[in-house]
Amino acid sequence: MKSFKHSGDIGDIIYSLPTMKGLGGGILYLDVSGGYDDVHCNKQLKPWGGKTKFNMNGYNFLYPLLKQQSYIHDVKIYNGEIVNYNLNRMRTGISENPKKFGDCKDLVDIYRITFDLPRYDINEPWLECGDPILLDRKLVIARSPRYQSSYVFLANSRAILRDKGIFIGLKKEHELFEWTFDLQIPFYDTNSALEVAKVLLGSGEIVSNSTSTLAIAVGLPNKSIVQETDKIMQLTTFKNKKGMKFI
């Protein structure tokens, strides 16, 4: 059986799964050291040099969702095993062979180019999560402190966000969102990536910047997503994804 390794972060792991699926699936080893001794995560290497933040909390958060995928036969903590595919290679591929990545579209594309696969149809879902969680409020909001650009748009949408929105993510992110936009909206505390996926699947619309929540949303079928984009971090802007709007 084929084996795969990844050292995170959470969004990167989600975006690597179409490549794992394209390579036939198998066992996924997750490195809770964040790639401490992985050459592709060495801090001297570019463009994504440095150990990631991935740890046991990230492993426990992702595990239920990963186990739900038919092409992932098992999920284990990495303990130095020899694997067929080190998915961390995407972190150094561009610097090693920039011409190869000349037509790269996004993070999903980086993985498939690294492992010489045909382009993945970004409109083909790669995440399964079972039955949705149906909340009274259908506008799901996720906003991390990174990769922000659209204060004015969101500020002008305060009435809609207040009346129809519900926030998922970290409690500190929720507090910051309410403080930034001077409004109060409910917070739904999700305990795992599988629960996040179920909430997103049951939503009417998703508003998110480049977070792990966005990665999950992009991997689900037929979701309406409003993405707060970042001019620098273009690799998480999925321009060919149906149902996506950009602010």
pLDDT at 45: 56
SS3 59: helix
Phi-psi domain of 246 (left: phi exceeds 0; alpha: psi -120 through 50; beta: other): beta
| Model confidence at 18: pLDDT above 70 | yes
Q: Which domains does the chain have, with CATH numbers?
A: 3-114 (no CATH), 139-246 (3.40.50)
**Could you report how far apart the first and last alpha carbons of the chain are, in Å?**
43
pLDDT at 126: 97
CA distances from 153 to 55, 156, 230, 237, 247 (A): 35, 5, 14, 18, 7
% of the chain at pLDDT higher than 90? 73
d(CA 89, CA 67): 23
Return the C-alpha torsion angle 201, 28, 113, 126, nearest 10.
-20
| Model confidence at 46: pLDDT above 60 | no
The pTM is what?
A: 0.93
pLDDT at 236: 82
pLDDT at 138: 96
d(CA 224, CA 48): 30
* Each residue's pLDDT tens digit, 207-247: 999 999 999 999 999 999 999 987 766 778 888 889 889 88
pLDDT at 43: 62
CA distances from 50 to 68, 106, 232 (A): 30, 20, 19
SS3 140: strand
pLDDT at 47: 53
Q: Tell me the pLDDT band of 16, cut-offs 50, 70 and 90.
A: very high
| Model confidence at 48: pLDDT above 60 | no
Cβ–Cβ < 8 Å for 72, 25:
yes
SS3 5: strand
| Model confidence at 49: pLDDT above 80 | no
| Model confidence at 3: pLDDT above 90 | yes
| Model confidence at 35: pLDDT above 60 | yes
d(CA 154, CA 119): 34
Question: Which residues, 6+ apart, have CB-to-CB distance to 159 below 8 Å?
Answer: none
* Each residue's pLDDT tens digit, 76-128: 999 999 999 999 999 887 777 777 877 778 889 999 999 999 989 999 999 99
* Each residue's pLDDT tens digit, 144-191: 988 788 788 898 999 999 999 999 999 999 999 999 999 999 999 999
For 189-206, what is the mean pLDDT? Answer: 98
Structure tokens at 1: 């059986």
